[in-house]
């Protein structure tokens, strides 16, 4: 029984870690950036973006805001390029790395006061007669209590945020570094980089599995 409970706990921990991994949270199309002023991070910020240069070349970029950071952007911009190559029916592609830029951005926040407010909490009170079982549900009352949360002063402060942007040019014609899409996708699926396993589309997985079952042309 103890072994079974240990296995269930371990499985639950693995599922939780997978769902909360940076790859699951941040490997996505870029649809939103933070607006000034800002601080901290959000899983809705950042991601990859691509622009077609011509029929053979695509410029791919990956942006991050504080987390998961520049190393994540540098790695997953290549993963996105591999996905694009497979979508175009290619396993071999070439890459010109334009580098990863990192910079900081300061956000200044004035002082403000969070007003006080009433909050509520609930607790159970068991009321039993002499001839009933202690704690029986029909004699349990839910008591709602109110309490005052005092106002809180937040002094002026500055937040320093780290932004990063990795850019490459993916080409289906020989130029730059020669790569194989299946190698990159397989590496991402094995989580050898330590960022977690990204959730690829069914089209990417079908193309990857088809390539893995036949010789590469």
Please give the pLDDT value at position 124. Answer: 80
Query: For residue 164, which of 1, 57, 50, 41 has the smallest C-alpha distance?
Result: 41
The tokens describing 212, both together, are 């893995």
Please give the pLDDT value at position 131. Answer: 55
Please give the pLDDT value at position 140. Answer: 73
Please give the pLDDT value at position 204. Answer: 97
- Spatial distance between the Cα atoms of 145 and 63, rounded to a whole number of angstroms: 47
- Spatial distance between the Cα atoms of 172 and 130, rounded to a whole number of angstroms: 84
Please give the pLDDT value at position 19. Answer: 54
Q: How many CA atoms lie within 13 A of 91 on its CB side?
A: 14
pTM surpassing 0.85? no
Please give the pLDDT value at position 122. Answer: 86
pLDDT tens track, the chain, 217 positions? 434 333 334 344 444 444 579 999 999 999 999 999 999 999 999 999 999 999 999 999 999 999 999 999 999 999 999 999 999 999 999 999 999 999 999 999 999 999 999 999 888 877 665 555 554 555 677 888 999 999 999 999 999 999 999 999 999 999 899 999 999 999 999 999 999 999 999 999 999 999 998 764 4
The tokens describing 78, both together, are 């290549």
Q: Is the dihedral of CA 127, 130, 132, 133 positive or negative?
A: positive
Helix, strand, or coil here: 113?
strand
Cβ(90)–Cβ(181) under 8 Å? yes
The tokens describing 4, both together, are 């079974």
Query: For residue 98, which of 66, 68, 69, 57 has the smallest C-alpha distance?
Result: 57
């Amino acid at each position: 029984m103890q072994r079974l409970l240990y296995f269930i706990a371990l499985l639950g921990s693995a599922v939780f870690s997978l769902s909360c991994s940076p790859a699951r949270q941040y490997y996505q199309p870029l649809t939103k950036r933070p607006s000034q002023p800002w601080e901290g991070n959000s899983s809705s910020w950042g991601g990859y973006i691509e622009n077609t240069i011509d029929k053979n070349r695509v410029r791919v970029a990956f942006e991050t805001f504080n987390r998961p950071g520049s190393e994540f952007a540098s790695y997953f911009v290549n993963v996105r390029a591999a996905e694009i190559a497979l979508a175009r029916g290619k396993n071999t592609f070439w890459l010109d790395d334009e580098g990863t830029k990192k910079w900081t951005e300061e956000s200044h926040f004035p002082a403000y006061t969070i007003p006080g407010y009433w909050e509520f909490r609930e607790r159970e009170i068991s009321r039993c007669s002499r001839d009933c079982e202690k704690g029986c549900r029909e004699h349990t009352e839910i008591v709602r209590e109110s309490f005052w949360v005092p106002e809180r002063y937040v002094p002026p402060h500055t937040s320093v945020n780290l932004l990063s942007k990795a850019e490459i040019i993916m080409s289906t014609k020989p130029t730059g570094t020669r790569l194989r899409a299946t190698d990159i996708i397989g590496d991402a699926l094995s989580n050898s980089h330590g960022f977690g396993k990204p959730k690829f589309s069914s089209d990417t997985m079908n193309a990857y599995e088809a390539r893995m079952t036949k010789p590469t042309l």
